[in-house]
Amino acid sequence: MIKFSKQQLKIPQLMRPVYLVTAGQSKFDRAIPDKRTEELCIDALTMAAELVNMSPAQLKSYIHSCYYGHFADHFGDQLLGEAVIHDRLGLDPLGNIGIKTGGATGGSTLWEATKAVASGYSDCALAMGWERMDEVPTDEGNFLISCAADKDWESPLGHIYTGYYAVMAQRYWQIFGKAEDSFRRTLAEISVKHHGYARMNPFAQSPMKITVDDVLKSPVVAYPLRALDCCLMSVGAACAIICDEKTAEQICKNAPHKPLRIWVAAGSHTLRPADRRDMEIPLLPNETADQYKDLGERFPGGDRYPGFTGFLATRMSAYYGYRMAGITDPSEDLDVIELHDAFTISDMQSYEDLGIRPYGQGRDYVESGDCYHTNPKTGQPGKLPSNISGGLIGCMHAVGATGIMQTFEMASHIWNRWAEIHGEEKIWRKFGRPKPADWTDLQVKGAKRGLAISHAGVGSHVTSTILIDPDHLLKKDD
């Protein structure tokens, strides 16, 4: 579709306020040979219960319907895995459903759980996501991931998803990055930042103290993308409990944090970038059509939208989501974000799709230092810190769990519990990971509002999950 009807542009509405009350996650790693998937899901749900000072059985007693995010049946080699997890969590005979939208599965799972509560169907819903990517070696894993491209038109061409992103990276680099080395270094800086933040996260799979040059010297996977530009392949689980207001108050009665308002909106675009047709840019509240009039003059070749440089699905999820939650300018209204950094280039592309920077100017979000917890240029807090978890590059990409992990990360900042959740010695010991001597508290001080992006394919499905402290809403409920 390249033109929208009025009906299609309706701003989605939740029929009543919806809250995220708690969340939890397992350890994330490339392989976890000593645990079955259901053990990881139980780890996540147990953690969610502990955070609200409940036993798992107490928390379970509130759950009315369950939403399970698990992308790739062929990775785990178990169809109807949702039924296995549901049984092992002891939640039969409640209704449950499996959700799969590739890399966006975690966000889509939250989307479904939120709608279930908003509609009144359930007062409390479980959103649980997981992925098991260690049952095949990496090459076979790359093959299985490439099955999420078009199997007749794309997958046979190399069976490597990185390649399908690299063509976007090339085009973006040449047009908006003007093929400058400095732009390539800025991309590499994203990887340095995410592996660096992962060092402070005991759940994270790939903590690394590296430099821009290390990224630029890492092996080429699909030029211009190198190994350290790419996300991880992971095993792990994450969950969130989504409630109406009354249930949220009950569950948080003895909790050290308050329930957070949640909104989730979704967008989509063609599985094959090949099928994208030219269209006008759908505008976010902080943009005007005028500002893009001369885009093609400033960046020759950059006037094809979304072309191979933008993600329409991301743009549409923000188009709906910002207006649902009352966000008029993401840089001003949000305090912390988690982006879907499947590749350094897609992280960069998303800054523009989300209106953090105008189209063509994404690199400035990194180069200004705004994306850091502490701006390296000024030593002051970053304006809008992103991917403090380490993201998909540093923390994990256990596909079905990823969007839920990101949302949990944001919640931990808004609850002011980041240091407790990430810093306690016992968690580091439990995961057999040494806590670094220079461990730093990355709590984003005073965070009240956050956004997490969950993204599939080469932009086929994207969700925007918005969390807001209910005492700091941006608009009154309709």
Query: Is residue 45 within 8 Å of 128, Cβ to Cβ?
Result: yes
Tokens 């941006």 — which residue? 474
Whether the bond between 306 and the residue before it is cis, its omega within 30 degrees of 0, is: yes
Cβ closest to another protein, residue 174 vs residue 463: 174
Query: Is residue 331 within 8 Å of 383, Cβ to Cβ?
Result: yes
Cβ closest to another protein, residue 135 vs residue 329: 135
**What 8-state DSSP symbol labels residue 108?**
H
CA distances from 126 to 48, 51, 54 (A): 11, 15, 15
Binders in 58-77 for another protein, by CB under 8 A: 77
- Least distance to another protein, CB of residue 219, Å: 7
Q: Where are the beta strands (DSSP E) in 29-112?
A: 65-69, 95-99
Assigned token pair, 262: 């949640």
Size of the site for another protein (CB under 8 A): 48
Query: Is residue 149 within 8 Å of 272, Cβ to Cβ?
Result: yes
Q: What are residue 465's DSSP bridge partners?
A: 264, 452
Binds another protein (CB under 8 A): choice among 11, 90, 153, 378:
153
Binds another protein (CB under 8 A): choice among 146, 234, 454, 465:
146
Stretch that binds another protein, among 122-130, 196-204, 214-222, 448-456 (CB under 8 A): 214-222
Nearest to 351 by CA among 342, 364, 333: 364
Stretch that binds another protein, among 48-56, 151-159, 363-371, 400-408 (CB under 8 A): 151-159
Binds another protein (CB under 8 A): choice among 236, 273, 330, 423:
273
Assigned token pair, 461: 């499905």
- Least distance to another protein, CB of residue 9, Å: 17
HEC per residue, 267-298? EECCCCHHHCCCCCCCCCCCCCHHHHCCHHHH
CA distances from 245 to 17, 65, 71, 218 (A): 7, 17, 30, 49
Cβ closest to another protein, residue 141 vs residue 296: 141
Distance between CA atoms of residues 101 and 84, nearest Å: 20
- Least distance to another protein, CB of residue 92, Å: 26
Binders in 77-96 for another protein, by CB under 8 A: 77
- Least distance to another protein, CB of residue 246, Å: 45
Each residue 287-326 as x (binds another protein by CB under 8 A) or -, in order, gives --------------x------x------------------
Cβ closest to another protein, residue 39 vs residue 140: 140
Distance between CA atoms of residues 446 and 240, nearest Å: 22
Considering the rule CB under 8 A, would residue 142 count as an interface residue with another protein? yes
Binds another protein (CB under 8 A): choice among 30, 88, 159, 417:
159
Cβ closest to another protein, residue 88 vs residue 159: 159
DSSP helix/strand/coil, 51: helix
Nearest to 464 by CA among 305, 324, 282, 272: 324
Query: Is residue 70 within 8 Å of 129, Cβ to Cβ?
Result: yes
Considering the rule CB under 8 A, would residue 280 count as an interface residue with another protein? no
Binds another protein (CB under 8 A): choice among 140, 213, 425, 441:
140
Cβ closest to another protein, residue 146 vs residue 402: 146
Considering the rule CB under 8 A, would residue 272 count as an interface residue with another protein? yes
Considering the rule CB under 8 A, would residue 268 count as an interface residue with another protein? no
For 407, phi then psi, to 5°, come to -70, -40
Considering the rule CB under 8 A, would residue 166 count as an interface residue with another protein? yes
Stretch that binds another protein, among 63-71, 89-97, 138-146, 377-385 (CB under 8 A): 138-146
Cβ closest to another protein, residue 150 vs residue 245: 150
- Bridge-based pairing state of the strands 260-268 and 19-25: antiparallel
DSSP helix/strand/coil, 96: strand
Binds another protein (CB under 8 A): choice among 39, 139, 332, 425:
139
Query: Is residue 89 within 8 Å of 60, Cβ to Cβ?
Result: yes
- Least distance to another protein, CB of residue 304, Å: 9
- Least distance to another protein, CB of residue 171, Å: 4
Each residue 23-52 as x (binds another protein by CB under 8 A) or -, in order, gives ----------xx------------------
Each residue 223-252 as x (binds another protein by CB under 8 A) or -, in order, gives xxx---------------------------
Stretch that binds another protein, among 125-133, 134-142, 289-297, 449-457 (CB under 8 A): 134-142
Query: Is residue 104 within 8 Å of 453, Cβ to Cβ?
Result: no
DSSP helix/strand/coil, 201: coil
Q: Which residues bind another protein (CB under 8 A)?
A: 1-3, 33-34, 77, 139-143, 145-146, 151-154, 156-160, 162-164, 166-171, 174, 219-225, 272-278, 301, 308
